[in-house]
Amino acid sequence: MKKEEFLDLLAETIDTEEELSEQMSLDDIDEYDSIAILSLMSMYDELGVKVTPNDFKDLKTVADLIKLAGDRVE
């Protein structure tokens, strides 16, 4: 999956109207909360990436969410 497609999927998954960029802080995204993390866990699972809630605790930016997807994102 291309990075732009992944960013669109992230925005759709957390239900935000904002256009996401790698540099964005997760704290600046109003919709990024515990419910969003549960939705993201499901999204990663569908991509074949196994994650736990602990995987999200130290993430700071959208780039960190991309890194979490590993080789699923080009």
Rounded to whole angstroms, the Cα distance separating 68 from 51 reads 8
24: helix, strand or coil? coil
pLDDT at residue 61 in the model:
98
pLDDT at residue 72 in the model:
95
Classified by CATH at the fold level, domain 3-72 comes out as 1.10.1200
Task: Find the length of the chain.
Answer: 74
In tens, the pLDDT along 28-45 reads 999 999 999 999 999 999
pLDDT beneath 50: ranges in the chain: none
Q: Which residues have CB under 8 Å from 58's CB, separation 6+?
A: 64
Q: Which residues have CB under 8 Å from 29's CB, separation 6+?
A: 14, 16, 18, 20, 62
Domain ranges of the chain: 3-72
